[in-house]
C-alpha cells in the first residue's frame, strides 16, 4: 500500500478517508486535523495557558506532545486514581514523558482528596466507577486549572469517544447532555473553558501517532471500565464503520452541524449556587464532588464506630 | 479451482514455510502460537479482531492490512480502544 501523498510505503490505511499514509505524511495529516479543531471551535490561543489532563494513556500523552509541538503553553495535570498497579504505571509513564520533554507536571491523588480510591468510592456511594471517576476529574481539573493559572482544560477525548457518547445520549434522549456535547465548552463564572482538540481523530489514529512518535503509554485497559457502557457503544459504532467507512465522523460532525438548530434558543445556564463545602460553582447547595467526599467520610466514621463496638 | 479457493491458498502458508506464527496481545499481555497467515487482514480475521480497533506491529514496524507478515518474527496486536462512561 502506498502513501496517497508521496507514494512512499504506507504504514496506516484510513478507510474513512479512502487514504493511506507514510509516517511523515500521516504526521502532517494528523497535525492538520488537530489545528482544524482548535481553529474551528476557537479553543484557545497562543496567549492562553492550557492545563492538559494527562492520564498516561495514548490520547492524553499524544495531545500533550502535539500541543507542545504546536508551541502552546501547557501544564500537565495527572490525577492518581488509586487503582493499584494500573495507577502506579499511569503515574510512572506520565512522569517519564514530562521529564523526557522537559514539561511541567502537577500530580494529585484521589485518595488524598476524597479519602478513597475510585473502586472504594463506587462501593460506598453506589455509583458506577466511571461516574465516580468522571465527577472527581471534572471537579479536580477545574480546581487545578484555577490554582495553576490556566484558562483552559484540554482533554484527550477522540472521535470514537465523542461518537459513542453521542450514540448513548441519543439512545436515551439525554437532552441535557446533548445540548452540552461540544468540542469546546466556554468558561462560565468559576468554571474554566473545556476543550477536546482530538475530536476529529479516531482512536486508531491516535494510537498510531503515539507508536510512531515512540510515546510510552499505558496500553492496558482501565480495570474499572471492563463493563462500561461506552465500550459497548464503541463496539457498535465500529461494526457500523466497518460496513460503511466514514459513518462515525458523519454521525458526529453531522450532529455538531445540526445541534444549534435543535437547541438554538437555549441559553447556557450557569450554576446558580456556590458549594457551601468547597466554594466551587454548583447547581445544588453542595456540589456532587463534595457530596461524594462527605458520603465517603460518613461511611468511614460508621465503619470506625462498628469496629469499636 | 474457484477464485475463492485460489485466494485462500495464497493467504495460507506456502510449501516449506512456517505453519505457525507467534502473536503477542499487548493489552492482555498474553502470547500464543496461531496458524500462519501471509497477510495482516487474514490474521486479524482468524483472531476475530476488527482492523479499526488494533494496531499490528512486527519488528518495530506498523503494518497495513495488505502487508505480508514475516513468519519468524513475533507479531504484536495492540488494541486501541479505551474509556469508560465519561
Q: Is any Cβ of chain A less than 8 angstroms from the Cβ of B34?
A: no
B31: β partners: B24
Judged by CB atoms closer than 8 Å, whether chains meet at B82 and A228 is answered as no
Domain-located, residue B63: yes
- Chain B residues with CB under 8 Å of A215 CB are none
Domain-located, residue B47: yes
- Show the domain range for B46: 10-79
Specify the pairing of strand A49-53 against strand A73-80.
parallel
Judged by CB atoms closer than 8 Å, whether chains meet at B62 and A242 is answered as no
Q: Over chain B, what HEC string results?
A: CCHHHHHHHHHCCCCCCCCEEEEEECCCCEEEEEECCCEHHHHHHHHCCCHHHEEEEECCEECCCCCECCCCCCEEEEECCCCCCC
CA distance A23 to A31: 12
- Share the mean pLDDT of chain A: 92
Q: Give me A64's grid cell.
A: 500533550
CA distance A250 to B13: 40
Domain-located, residue B29: yes
Task: Kindly report the pTM of this predicted structure.
Answer: 0.91
Q: How many CB atoms lie within 10 A of CB A139?
A: 22
Write the ipTM: 0.88
**Who among A20, A131, A203 is closest to B85 (CB)?**
A131
Smallest CA–CA distance from A168 into chain B, residue: B85
Domain-located, residue B65: yes
Domain-located, residue B1: no
What is the structure's pLDDT at A140?
Answer: 96
What percent of chain A is predicted at pLDDT more than 90?
74
Q: Is any Cβ of chain A less than 8 angstroms from the Cβ of B70?
A: no
Domain-located, residue B58: yes
Q: Is any Cβ of chain B less than 8 angstroms from the Cβ of A93?
A: no
Smallest CA–CA distance from B68 into chain A, residue: A1
A20: β partners: A13
Smallest CA–CA distance from B58 into chain A, residue: A11
CATH code of the domain covering residue B33 = 3.10.20.30
pLDDT per residue over A82-108, tens digit each? 999 999 999 999 999 999 999 999 999
Cell 487482514 sits at which residue? B41
Judged by CB atoms closer than 8 Å, whether chains meet at A221 and B27 is answered as yes
Judged by CB atoms closer than 8 Å, whether chains meet at A207 and B78 is answered as yes
CA distance A1 to A3: 7
pLDDT per residue over A242-294, tens digit each? 999 999 999 999 999 998 788 765 556 677 788 999 988 888 899 999 999 99
Cα angle at A60 between A126 and A83, to 5 degrees?
35
Beta strand spans in A15-139 (E): 19-21, 49-53, 73-80, 105-109
Name the phi and psi angles at A118, rounded to 5: -55, -45
CA distance A169 to A163: 10
**Number of independent structural domains in chain B:** 1
Closest CA to A76 of A44, A108, A46, A45: A108
**Who among A15, A230, A238 is closest to B84 (CB)?**
A230
Domain-located, residue B5: no
Amino acid at each position: 500500500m502506498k502513501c496517497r501523498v508521496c507514494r512512499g510505503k504506507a504504514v496506516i490505511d484510513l478507510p474513512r478517508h479512502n487514504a493511506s499514509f507514510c509516517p511523515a505524511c500521516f504526521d502532517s495529516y494528523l497535525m492538520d486535523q488537530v489545528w482544524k479543531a482548535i481553529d474551528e471551535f476557537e479553543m484557545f490561543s497562543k496567549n492562553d495557558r492550557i492545563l492538559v489532563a494527562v492520564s498516561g494513556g495514548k490520547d492524553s500523552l499524544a495531545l500533550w506532545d502535539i500541543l507542545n509541538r504546536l508551541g502552546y503553553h501547557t501544564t500537565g495535570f495527572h490525577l492518581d486514581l488509586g487503582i493499584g498497579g494500573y495507577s502506579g504505571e499511569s503515574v510512572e509513564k506520565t512522569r517519564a514523558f514530562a521529564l523526557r520533554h522537559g514539561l511541567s507536571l502537577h500530580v494529585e491523588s484521589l485518595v488524598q482528596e476524597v479519602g478513597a480510591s475510585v473502586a472504594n468510592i463506587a462501593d460506598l456511594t453506589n455509583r458506577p466507577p466511571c461516574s465516580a471517576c468522571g465527577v472527581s476529574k471534572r471537579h479536580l481539573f477545574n480546581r487545578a486549572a484555577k490554582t495553576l493559572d490556566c484558562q483552559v482544560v484540554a482533554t484527550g477525548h477522540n472521535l470514537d469517544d465523542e461518537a459513542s457518547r453521542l450514540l448513548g445520549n441519543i439512545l436515551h434522549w439525554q437532552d441535557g447532555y446533548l445540548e452540552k456535547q461540544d468540542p469546546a465548552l466556554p468558561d462560565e463564572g468559576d468554571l474554566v473553558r473545556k476543550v477536546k482538540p482530538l475530536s476529529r481523530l479516531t482512536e486508531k489514529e491516535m494510537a498510531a501517532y503515539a507508536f510512531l512518535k515512540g510515546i510510552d503509554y499505558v496500553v492496558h485497559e482501565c480495570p474499572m471500565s471492563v463493563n462500561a457502557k461506552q465500550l459497548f457503544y464503541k463496539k457498535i459504532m465500529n461494526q457500523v464503520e466497518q460496513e460503511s467507512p466514514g459513518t462515525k465522523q458523519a454521525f458526529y460532525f453531522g450532529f455538531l452541524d445540526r445541534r444549534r438548530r435543535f437547541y438554538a434558543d437555549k441559553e447556557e445556564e450557569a450554576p446558580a449556587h456556590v458549594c457551601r463545602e468547597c466554594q466551587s460553582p454548583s447547581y445544588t447547595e453542595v456540589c456532587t464532588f463534595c457530596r461524594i467526599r462527605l458520603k465517603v467520610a460518613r461511611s468511614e466514621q460508621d465503619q470506625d464506630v462498628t469496629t469499636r463496638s | 479451482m474457484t477464485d475463492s479457493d485460489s485466494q485462500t491458498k495464497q493467504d495460507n502458508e506456502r510449501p516449506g514455510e512456517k505453519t505457525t506464527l507467534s502473536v503477542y496481545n499487548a493489552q492482555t499481555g498474553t502470547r500464543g502460537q496461531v496458524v500462519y497467515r501471509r497477510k495482516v487482514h487474514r490474521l486479524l480475521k482468524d483472531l476475530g479482531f476488527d482492523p479499526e480497533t488494533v494496531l499490528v506491529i512486527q519488528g518495530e514496524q506498523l503494518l497495513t492490512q495488505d502487508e505480508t507478515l514475516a513468519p519468524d518474527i513475533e507479531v504484536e496486536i495492540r488494541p486501541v480502544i479505551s474509556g469508560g462512561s465519561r
